[in-house]
Amino acid sequence: MNIKGKTILITGGGSGIGLESAKQFLAEGAKVIITGRNQAKLDAAKKAFPALVVIKSDVDNEADALSLFNTVASLGGIDILYNNAGVGTEALNLGNANDQILKNAIYEMNVNYFGVIRLNTLFINMLKSRKESAIINTTSILSMIPALEEPTYSATKTALSFYTQILRKDLEILKSSVKVFELLPPLVATEMTAKRNDKKITPEQLVNALISGIKKDRFTIRVGDTKLLYFINRFFPKLAFDLVNPKKIYARLSY
């Protein structure tokens, strides 16, 4: 897929992976629109990269999503929708009676899963009208193997991975030109993972791999340890689970 000259909308674009994506897509000659909930982060991104179009919007909010669509349409529309926004919550032991467990699950599912479907549904006809267009969904290494510290996050990413595969197949059946990419990162050094001391890759490394995959029409883009874990899990699922959940993390869980 050719990136130059395309217009891309990146959710969660004010920092971390989203901001790095905006930077690299601009360098590839794309026009970039970013959204996020934090106006200060959006303002800082705009200052750093004046070519960006920034729109404050929360993917968890139906009214925000509709307003975002109308604004983007008024700007001429997009060729690529990159569903990057995601949230994670505090680790809680699911075996305990804790009302926060359900609240966390609802919040994460609303943002990480339903928020993606909401935007895809709004923008799909716009994307189908373009000669070459794409949807990018960010899942996770945890869509293959769940993490004890991130049970509901793992579940949302697994749901999103299955949804992404079916969306791709549905569009193929409809003979649509919309391409559907799934990005599976390992642990990435962002604000969300700042307290983790585990092995991480940089957002720059991740986005380099994403752009390379898009250019080659590689629809499932596994990066770093995600590639190795994919093969281990096929033949040695218990080993794969233990690699994601080493004994040292047990003490960190909230019992």
Cα–Cα separations (whole angstroms), residue 113 to 35, 42, 137, 139, 164: 17, 23, 10, 10, 10
pLDDT range class, residue 249, cuts 50, 70, 90: confident
The answer to whether residues 3 and 30 touch, using CB atoms and an 8 Å cutoff, is yes
Give the whole-angstrom CA distance, residue 7 versus residue 71. Answer: 14
Residue carrying structure tokens 């390992």 = 186
The per-residue pLDDT for range 206-229, each reduced to its tens digit, is: 999 999 999 999 999 999 999 999
Residue carrying structure tokens 């305990």 = 96
The per-residue pLDDT for range 162-201, each reduced to its tens digit, is: 999 999 999 999 999 999 999 999 988 766 665 666 677 8
Amino acid occupying residue 147: A
Spatial CA neighbour of 32 closest among 15, 13, 16 = 13
Superfamily for domain range 7-252? NAD(P)-binding Rossmann-like Domain (3.40.50.720)
Give the whole-angstrom CA distance, residue 32 versus residue 27. Answer: 10
The per-residue pLDDT for range 72-104, each reduced to its tens digit, is: 999 999 999 999 999 988 777 777 778 888 999
| Domain spans, the chain | 7-252
Give just the sign of the alpha carbon dihedral 102, 103, 109, 112.
negative
The H-assigned helical ranges of 110-202 are 115-128, 151-173
pLDDT range class, residue 46, cuts 50, 70, 90: very high
∠ CA(57), CA(12), CA(157), 5° rounding? 115
Residue carrying structure tokens 């549905």 = 170
